[in-house]
Each structure stands twice: as C-alpha cells, then as structure tokens.
Amino acid sequence: MTQIYAYIPFKNGSAEDVALEYPAAAKKIDAAAMLTAVVTGSGAELDSVATEMSKIYEQVIKVDNQALAYPNAEVVRKALVNIIPKDAILLVAHTTFGMDIAPGLSVKMDAAYAADIVDFEGIEGTRLKMVRQELGGAVSTHVTADISAGAVITIRPGAFAPVDGGAANGTITDKSADAGDLASTRKFLEVVEAEVGDVDITKSDVLVSIGRGIEEQENIELAQELATAMNAVVSCSRPIVDAKWLEKSRQVGTSGQTVKPKVYMAMGISGSFQHLGGLKGNPFIVAVNKNPKAPIFQVADVGIVTDILEFMPELTEAISSL
Amino acid sequence: MEILVCVKRVPDTAENEFELNGAGNDLDRDDLVYSVNEWDNYAVEEAIQMVDKMGGSVTVVTVGDDESEEILRREMAMGANNGVLLSDDAFEGSDGKGIATILKAEIEKGSYDLILTGAQADEGAGQVGGMVAAMLDYPYASLVNKIDVMDDKKIKVGREIEGGNQEMNEISLPCVLSIQTGINEPRYVGIRGIRKVSSVEIPVKSASDLGLDAASVGSAGAKTRRVDYFVPDMGEGAEMLEGSTEEIIAKLIEKLKAKGGL
Ligand SMILES: Cc1cc2nc3c(=O)[nH]c(=O)nc-3n(C[C@H](O)[C@H](O)[C@H](O)COP(=O)(O)OP(=O)(O)OC[C@H]3O[C@@H](n4cnc5c(N)ncnc54)[C@H](O)[C@@H]3O)c2cc1C
Ligand SMILES: Nc1ncnc2c1ncn2[C@@H]1O[C@H](COP(=O)(O)O)[C@@H](O)[C@H]1O
C-alpha cells in the first residue's frame, strides 16, 4: 500500500492552510493510500498543532525537540530522514521552507524528487504521473517519477481543494526518540520583519498594478496618473521592486503583500503563481498584456491584448473626462 | 574567497510567445530567444562584488550544449574570471539530481569556499542548489538576499521568506547558497564587454573528464522525467475585449463601473 506522509508547516500554534490541502493531493496520488501527518517542533505549540491535525488525519506523528522550535531546514531534514520510511512519499508545501528543505532531503533519502506539483494523475506501475508548470506558468508539463524507492514532492499551496477538517479522531504517535542527532552547521538567528512603507496597498479597493511590461522607470508615471484618475493606488510585481523603482511595500505576492481589492488592474504582469499568491478575495481582474498567451489571461476576468504604454494614457484620459 | 557560480541558459520569458512543437513533446524551439537565467545574474553579481572586496576569483559553470558557451562569456564579461562548460551527449535528459551530480563532480575538482546558484530557473524547480549541497554534505540556504562574511569560516546570510520577511542564519563555509533576485543590481553588459572576452578559452569537460559513470546521469539516471508539454484547459479564461481602442475603453469603463472600480 502506498504510504504518504505530509509535513505540516505552522505558525503561532496553528497549521498553515496547506494542511487541509494535502489530503486531496494524497487522494489523487492513490485513493487507497495511508496518509500520515508529520509535525515537528517543540512544547505546547507542537502539541496544539498535533491535536489540531488529529481532527483531520487518522495518523499523526509528532517529533518534539528544542532544536526544532524554529523550523531550520537543515535540522528538520535530519529528523525527517530518520522518521520517514525509505519507500514512502513525502509531501511538503512549495513555500520558502519547502524549497529550502525538500531537494536536499530527497538526496539524503535517495528518493525521487518533483517540485511545485499542481496536480497528480495517479500511479502506473512504479511511476507516479504529475502536472507542473514551467516558464513562469506559460506552459504545463506532465512528469513521471519512479517512486519505487520513495519520493519527496513539493505541492503548490492553493492548487488542491481544501478538505473540511474536524471529523477524524486520529492517533498521535510520539517519535521524538527517533529523531537522531540534530546538530547543525546552520544556525538560525532571527526573523527580521519587512519594512512598512509610506503607502498601504492592502487598504485600497482598487489597485493599478504594474509589472515588467512598464519597461522603464519613467513610465511609472503613466500608471500613477491612471491610479489618480481611478482613485486607486499603484502596486507592482517583484521585478519592479528588484529594480528599486518602487518600494517593497508596494509588491503584491507571496514574498510581498497579500491584498484583497475589489478591482485589480494587472498591467504588463505575466501572472506567475508567486504574484497571484498575494491576490485574495476573488477581485475583478483586468489584465492588459501585449502577449495574448500570457498566463494572466487564464485567471483574469477581462483581458486586453495591447501595449500598456499606449493604453494607460488613453484610459486615463477617458476616465478623467467622465 | 574562491567562488563557483552555477548558471543556466534558458528561454527568455519576456521575449517569447511559447508554442508547442507538432508532436507536443517539446516547445517549438526554432525561434526561441535564450538568455542567462534571471536569478543567475544576481548570483554572479554577488560573487563579483564579494571578490572585489575580499580577493579571490569567480568561476562560472554550466551544464549544457555548445550554445551554452555564450552565457558563460556573458557572465565573464560581467567580471567572472573563469568559465567551464560541462557538456556530453550522456548528460542529455538529466533530471535535477543528474545536473547536481555533474556539478558536484566539477566542484570536487576545485577547492571552492562558496558555491552559488540561482533560486530557480526556467523549470521553476529550485532544486539543483539544495541537491548539490546535500551530495557534498555542505550546509545550504535557499533564497538568499543578503550575505555578510564574518570570517573565513563563517558567513551570515539572510533568506527571504513569506511576506518579504528575512530569516537570518549563520552558516559555516564551505557552503552552497541559492540567490534570490533583488539582492543586488546586476551590472549591465554591453557589446564591448562581450567582445573583450570573445577569444578567452573556455574548457569543455565530458563525463569521462569528470569521472562520471554515464549511467548515473542523463536520461539513463533520471528518476524524474518530463513526458510532454501541454497547454492547460483552464476553463473559460478572461473575456477578451476587442475592437478599436475607443470601443475597448468604453466596454472596460462599463465593467469597471459595475464592479466598483470607478
Ligand atoms: C520564492 C519566490 C518568491 C517570489 N515572490 C514574488 C512576489 O511576491 N511577487 C511577484 O510579483 N513575483 C514574485 N516572484 C517572482 C515571480 O516568479 C515572477 O518572476 C514575477 O512575478 C514576474 O513579474 P512580471 O509578471 O512583472 O514579469 P514578467 O514575467 O517578465 O512579465 C512581464 C509581462 O509584461 C508583458 N509586457 C511586456 N511589455 C509590455 C507592454 N509594453 N505592454 C503590455 N504588456 C507588456 C509581457 O508580455 C509579460 O507577460 C517570486 C519568485 C520566487 C522564486
Ligand atoms: N544545467 C545547469 N547548469 C548549471 N547550473 C544549473 C543548471 N540547471 C540549474 N542550475 C543551477 O541551479 C539553479 C536552480 O535551477 P533549478 O533547480 O533548475 O530550478 C539555477 O539558477 C542554476 O544556478
């Protein structure tokens, strides 16, 4: 029988949303698989997450150690190598923690690796068939992995439908004694919080958001003028912040702000999942992009194929004369 | 400090509209524009700045075909001192572990204090750096957006985590770091810079030069394989507004009014 383990990330004593998404992913791998949640941490916080998980999962393993109090990928990896059976499938969320731990863990477990999976199409023989994306979401691919010696797989948060938790009465098994030597060559020091900017983009109902399609720093003015006409605020994708054209607090996405506007104007933004990950609350999305194949058109409500540098001034003028 | 930076030649997402080939098993690559993986430019820039400050050298390495040589030259035009091309028919079809195995063999031939990769490349996997580190038993940190050298045994690194917060870690050398965009501002490379390095010799190493068993890499050694490319059926997608600019704007304004955008 396929054995699947799901690593549960948590913050401030409660599990992240992906904890409710692993069960759907596991079912798509093998509906008959045995699924076990794995929680590592320390003390009362760990216990409360383990209890929370026992309401969703039939089997929960907890590993309690002071060295695991902060999820330092190197330390967690050492513990998991000793806890996860060699031929099992381990699911990890494709987050900054997942990217940190999973590739090296697959090497240490001598298991197959697949990253950022958005769908599973079942097991045939020794091979598991999966769907992932390349080139910033522009194309999808099927990949297969030989899982006969186990697999480590990261899944994209939000890609699998969450289950309604609460019904299970799972057993919690304490495997702290099996974690082994957790000494580490990488020492966690602290988390430095992101700086707060002048403008709070999370407060605005309408965002005019610009991406690499803005091409030059001077062109940001065109977006600012449109935003003013719409009584909106300018936000952006990551490359605009990397180029230091706008401050970090204007960035929408997993490594930026989470926003819930009513209307989101995506101007020259391709629509990578890290960008869309910051867009919540089902806003009305208008995408303007000169590439008719841009992935943003798959999630937008309204699409316009044109050059934003020509389109924005015309739209500004039309709105201003209403 | 001796620094090795792993770089990859990838299709440029800003310059291409991707189409599948007739058989659907690959992209139509005939007219694709390629460039250096965006993340790798930040890694090379960081390495150059470190060496400018502390001395040492920067080597850029790639696993690829003949055409990958051009990206090594580009990174050398930025200021990398050496380039190495790892190329062999046996490398074709490698999965992440295959690429990491090949890079590890090259790394073991030198003595590097620091190995840098990009946070991710065209396939969006973000796997090679962590795998190389695990294979070498070196410490690893991903998504690094700050490096402070403490002494010749230790560095302090910042990792970018969710929400733009930064996780600070102390790591012992030698180690492997994957570099996140925004850590610096990669310098511009002009035609003249490229011309300057156009005649520099770039060694090419094969599987046997690296002492690699051909069965451990390439499609033979790959546990994970790409079967095909496809365009996903995402339901209806966006309602595309068409017509003259005036017509489009009129339709858009109606919709914005209805949705509370105006
Ligand atoms: C761990 C991690 C975290 C990340 N976090 C974030 C995040 O929080 N937020 C984020 O945004 N990204 C994030 N990224 C980066 C993300 O993967 C993408 O690289 C980024 O979102 C791309 O931004 P973009 O759409 O502006 O640029 P591109 O992908 O380059 O797209 C530009 C688009 O503009 C179009 N265009 C070009 N010129 C014009 C024109 N004149 N008129 C109209 N259209 C034009 C092009 O067709 C293209 O579709 C993260 C990446 C990683 C690895
Ligand atoms: N073929 C390759 N040659 C050299 N380095 C590579 C290659 N593929 C990936 N890398 C490195 O690994 C990083 C992450 O790529 P990936 O794991 O493929 O997402 C890249 O930014 C490169 O630094």
* ipTM reported for the complex, 2 dp: 0.96
Extract the tokens encoding B78.
């930025």
Extract the tokens encoding B68.
């990958």
Q: Count of residues for chain B?
A: 262
Q: Are A37 and A49 in contact (CB under 8 A)?
A: no
pLDDT tens digit string along B139-189? 999 999 999 999 989 999 999 999 999 999 999 999 999 999 999 999 999
Can you give the pLDDT at residue B24?
Answer: 77
pLDDT tens digit string along A144-168? 999 999 999 999 999 999 998 777 8
Can you give the pLDDT at residue B31?
Answer: 85
pLDDT(A17) > 80: yes
Q: Do A168 and A211 belong together in one domain?
A: no
What atom in ligand 2 is closest to the CA of residue B116? 23
Peptide bond into B174 cis (omega under 30): yes
Is residue A194 in a domain?
no
Is residue A191 in a domain?
no
Q: Do B57 and B136 belong together in one domain?
A: yes
Which of A178, A211, A243 lies at the terminal end of a domain, its last residue? A178
pLDDT tens digit string along B46-83? 999 999 999 999 999 999 999 999 999 999 999 999 99
Q: Do B19 and B47 belong together in one domain?
A: yes
Q: Do A13 and A131 belong together in one domain?
A: yes
Is residue B230 in a domain?
no
Q: Name the residue type at position A81.
A: V
Give the Cα separation of A123 and A37 in Å (integer).
21
% of chain A residues with pLDDT over 70: 100
Q: What mean pLDDT is predicted for residues B115-125? A: 98
Residues 6+ apart with CB under 8 A from A65: A40, A42, A79, A176, A179, A182
Q: Are A108 and A77 in contact (CB under 8 A)?
A: yes
What atom in ligand 1 is closest to the CA of residue A295? 49
Give the Cα separation of A15 and A27 in Å (integer).
20
Can you give the pLDDT at residue B71?
Answer: 96
CA A282 from centroid of its chain's CA atoms: 17
**How many domains in chain B?**
2
pLDDT tens digit string along A30-42? 999 999 999 999 9
Q: Do B65 and B98 belong together in one domain?
A: yes
- A-chain CB neighbours of B253 within 8 Å are 318-319, 322
pLDDT(B22) > 90: no
pTM of the model: 0.97
Q: What mean pLDDT is predicted for residues A68-74? A: 97
Q: Are A305 and B240 in contact (CB under 8 A)?
A: yes
Can you give the pLDDT at residue B14?
Answer: 79
Nearest to A94 by CA among A20, A33, A40, A156: A156
What does the angle CA A165 – CA A170 – CA A176 come to, to the nearest 5 degrees? 115
Give the one of A141, A188, A230 whose C-beta lies nearest to B261's C-beta. Answer: A230
What is the helix (H) or strand (E) element at residue A53, kind and residue range?
helix A43-54
The answer to whether the CB of B126 is under 6 A from ligand 2 is yes
Give bridge partners of residue A209 from the DSSP assignment.
Answer: A235, A266
Q: Do A138 and A211 belong together in one domain?
A: no
Q: Give the three-class secondary structure for A235.
A: strand
Give the one of A255, A256, A303 whose C-beta lies nearest to B240's C-beta. Answer: A303
Domain ranges, residue A309: 201-320
Q: What mean pLDDT is predicted for residues B96-115? A: 98
pLDDT tens digit string along B202-214? 999 999 999 999 9
Q: Do B216 and B256 belong together in one domain?
A: no
Distances (CA, A) of A185 to A63, A72, A207, B176: 20, 11, 44, 12
Q: What mean pLDDT is predicted for residues A126-132? A: 97
Q: Do B31 and B68 belong together in one domain?
A: yes
Can you give the pLDDT at residue B234?
Answer: 62
Nearest to A279 by CA among A297, A289, A266: A266
Domain ranges, residue B115: 2-221
Q: b/e per residue, A265-300, with b = 16+ CB within 10 A?
A: bbbbbbbbbbbbbbbeeebbbbbbbbbebbbbbbbb
Nearest to B129 by CA among A242, A5, A73: A73
Q: Do B146 and B92 belong together in one domain?
A: yes
- CA of A25 from ligand 1 middle (Å) equals 27
Can you give the pLDDT at residue B233?
Answer: 66
